[in-house]
């Protein structure tokens, strides 16, 4: 199987690949990423004080959905830990958040017992306090998988067949350029030219093909695979872990046959 990296933005957590494979394999990896690659997320909370305008349940929901930077080498899934899910430093992470000042309380104010594993988005607002209001909560984060709750999913993955856009004699190139908002075409004189580096990421190719009979859209047997990380894990680690999980599933199936 041949894999070509189309683009990568580590800061934004985005990776695009061109894979010479079947749709079934691409969808298998996509589902493993969404459902089986583990990350840390807040699961249990103990409120010692919450006089904000939000109920405990609403604050808990917000904290549970903020991604946490995850170190898969240091933490185990509760069901696979030596403590058998009773709770220990290898399967649980303690985070505290205390605030008693007027204004917004941000995720960066939370203190984690593991400096490597903190909230991904420091300036994510948790709650807004008025004068004399307080928030004091202790959180327990554990590894989990997206199959159990979306808060544990590491990101979003999607794919489609590799598009090939061809341009012949276009009757009204100006009309096409009016609709071209993604840089796929460049107009030189009265001739449209295709910017190939923009084609694979365009969501408007079918529109262009419908605008003029001189523009045709075809698809190859290769797959364009996009992965967007929510920050808990880098894209490459998500893909590597999904491959390991797929191998584990295959070996488990073989042992059952």
pLDDT of 86 = 84
Inter-residue contact 165 to 205 (CB < 8 Å): yes
pLDDT of 189 = 85
Strands 39-50 and 155-167: unpaired
pLDDT of 206 = 95
pLDDT of 164 = 95
Residue 1: how many other CB atoms lie within 10 Å = 7
pLDDT of 190 = 84
Three-class SS string for the chain?
CCEEEEEEECCCCEEEEEECCCHHHHHHHHHHHHHCCCEEEEEEEEEEEECCCCCHHHHHHHHHHCCECCCCCCCCCHHHCCCCCCCCCCCEEEEEEEECCCEEEEHHHCEECCCCCCECCCCCEEEEECCCCCEEEEEEEEEECCCCCHHHCCEEEEEEEEEEEEECCCCCHHHHHHHCCCCCEEEECCEEEECHHHHCCCCCHHHHHHHCCCEEEEEEEEEEEEEEECCCCCHHHHHHHHHHHHHHHHHHHHHHC
pLDDT of 85 = 79
Residue 102, burial from CB neighbour count under 10 angstroms (0-12, 13-18, 19+): exposed
How far apart, in whole angstroms, are the C-alpha atoms of residue 167 and residue 205?
12
| 244-250 long-range Cβ contacts below 8 angstroms, 24+ apart | 245/32, 245/36, 245/37, 246/28, 246/29, 246/32
pLDDT of 39 = 97
Strands 14-19 and 215-229: antiparallel
pLDDT of 70 = 97
Inter-residue contact 18 to 221 (CB < 8 Å): no
What is the end-to-end Cα distance of the chain in Å, rounded? 27
List, in order of start, the domains of the chain with CATH numbers: 3-35+155-227 (3.30.1360.10), 40-149 (2.170.120.12)
pLDDT of 131 = 95
pLDDT tens digits in sequence order for the chain, 257 residues long: 899 999 999 999 999 999 999 999 999 999 999 999 999 999 999 999 999 999 999 999 999 999 999 999 999 999 888 888 788 989 999 999 999 999 999 999 999 999 999 999 999 999 999 999 999 999 999 999 999 999 999 999 999 999 999 999 998 899 999 999 999 999 998 899 999 989 998 999 999 999 999 999 999 999 999 999 999 999 999 999 999 999 999 999 999 98
């Amino acid at each position: 199987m041949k894999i070509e990296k189309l683009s990568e933005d580590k800061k934004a957590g985005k990776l695009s690949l061109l894979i010479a494979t079947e749709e079934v394999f691409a969808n298998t990896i996509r589902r493993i990423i969404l459902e089986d690659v583990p990350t840390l997320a807040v699961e249990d909370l103990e409120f010692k004080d919450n006089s904000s305008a939000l109920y405990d349940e609403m604050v808990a929901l917000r904290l549970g959905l903020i991604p946490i930077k995850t170190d898969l080498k240091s933490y185990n899934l509760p069901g696979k830990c030596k403590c058998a899910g009773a709770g220990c430093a290898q399967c649980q992470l303690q985070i505290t958040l205390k605030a008693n000042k007027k204004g917004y309380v941000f995720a960066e104010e939370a203190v984690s017992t593991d400096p490597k594993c903190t909230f991904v988005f420091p300036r994510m607002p948790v709650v807004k306090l008025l004068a004399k209001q307080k928030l004091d909560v202790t959180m327990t984060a554990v590894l989990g998988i997206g199959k159990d709750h979306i808060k544990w999913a590491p990101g979003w993955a999607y794919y489609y067949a590799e598009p090939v856009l061809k341009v012949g004699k276009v009757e009204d190139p100006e009309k096409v350029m009016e609709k071209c908002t993604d840089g796929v075409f460049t107009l030189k004189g009265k001739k449209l030219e295709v910017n190939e580096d923009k084609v694979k990421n365009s969501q408007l190719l079918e529109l262009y093909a419908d605008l003029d009979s001189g523009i045709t859209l075809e698809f190859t047997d290769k797959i364009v695979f996009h992965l967007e990380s929510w920050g808990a894990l880098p894209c490459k680690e998500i893909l590597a872990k999904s491959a390991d999980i797929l191998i584990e599933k295959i070996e488990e199936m073989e042992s059952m046959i």
